[in-house]
Structure 1
């Protein structure tokens, strides 16, 4: 026995003493069912292209995409989010390929709903995969900015096409004013009232998107992965503005709200969680994924422990679901 003992009423370390006690006192859990795997789709039959800036991630042809989604469903991951990487030959200033009824992502949706019906499919609504300038909407050359209302019209058309293909959730990521309400109205008017909307509500003009733009091909279109989107994405310093955007999307009929990126904006996730009862998503973006991998490759961080801690922090902040390139790896660990 020690010669000196503090006279303490509470000793919080008692509940940390063993693994069993720590389990009983655990406040936050993260299961495969909380995760969404983002996937990149390309043309081809057996194609699979590694993404250099995102170790372990690939651009997949539709047959490979089906194989991957079957594996994800077997691991208990309930949903995937699709992003098309298109050949530059089909891109244009007005992104007209986005409304082609047989465009790549719509063919991918149809194939997945036929071959892997148990997994929910989410598709992004934005024009950056389709435009030569790499922006998320229709570019107004005179104003040197995106044209809000004409872009919203195209997004609504994209949503209806995705719903007709069988998508479960459409996810407008463009940050145009009024797009959630317009998309909801277009879906309902076309008998797609069951199609849900996951709104990128608080999407910040972040420097963490670089690897994603490489994977999508919008960086190559624009000539830089540092494309300036500050006229439509949120100022990283603005908390109140983010809450305003979230409230507007909820009023306009969003079914799920999202904060993006996740890790640098845990405070925003927590505030949104306290403001709404809607399901809340957070997107652990490509730069968050890449920096953990890069540090681990240098031997500076433990990849698995940092991966798990980063995901748990997002969940603890209040996210019901997390879009993460680590989703499959984490689900594999659980098995």
Structure 2
């Protein structure tokens, strides 16, 4: 690559790029100083522990240095793909994540639109506060509410019997065919308000002049939502959709262990609960690490693939 000539002096392109970066950092030094604690936190808790992924490729013995452990390569990855439970846990993982993507992803968008359309400011603030509250309720409390409500002696069964819909209590939490629907509903209830915050922020950033122009053109409320509001938050929707596709193998962990039982295990056992059972409870740490690493690698691949497709289709992407 030829050098760039500035004032009859040759300047290497790499040096020119380095000077540009240095000037930019110097100009924005206050922002970079504010970012130091965050960068330090991410480096310490997110990147430093990553050396531990070597456990997936060795026969790890607790207390023994990594270099002294036997190297086994892809042995544990192979064992996972040859496991008789592979189809079951993949089915459950993709089913729960698929339902959450199908119903749980648009739910915060709809809630944000509904809250935005409220005319009374006090009621709007009240609705926002109430919708956020379930996010701060632990899964332990949520599971207790579900057992109290949906148990054979629960309120829901009593109402069904009073209305004559059923003659005997239905064991909703003990039948596997109900589990996917119940876990999807609980996930939506717990996360819909918190997820709507980002969309409400995006809606707040839409120029008011667009609404005024829409009113002049005769657009009603639904027309403004369809032609102004949704296009205004399109970027946010696409970016969050890409990230959710990347986490499609994260079908949950706490809720499965707390709400599920031996009778519904065939429907609640997902990759994370399987890795916990074999990797932690049975002490097969290398096997559990291999499953986690494989899941992360697939998630990263899905993000990159979805990002590339989104860029071609809508010209929007994360990177």
TM-score band w.r.t. shorter chain: under 0.3
Q: Which has the higher strand share?
A: 1
Higher relative contact order (CA 8 A, sep 6+): 2
Give the structure with higher Rg (CA). 2
TM-score normalised to the size of structure 1?
0.24
TM-score normalised to the size of structure 2?
0.25
Q: Which has the higher helix share?
A: 2
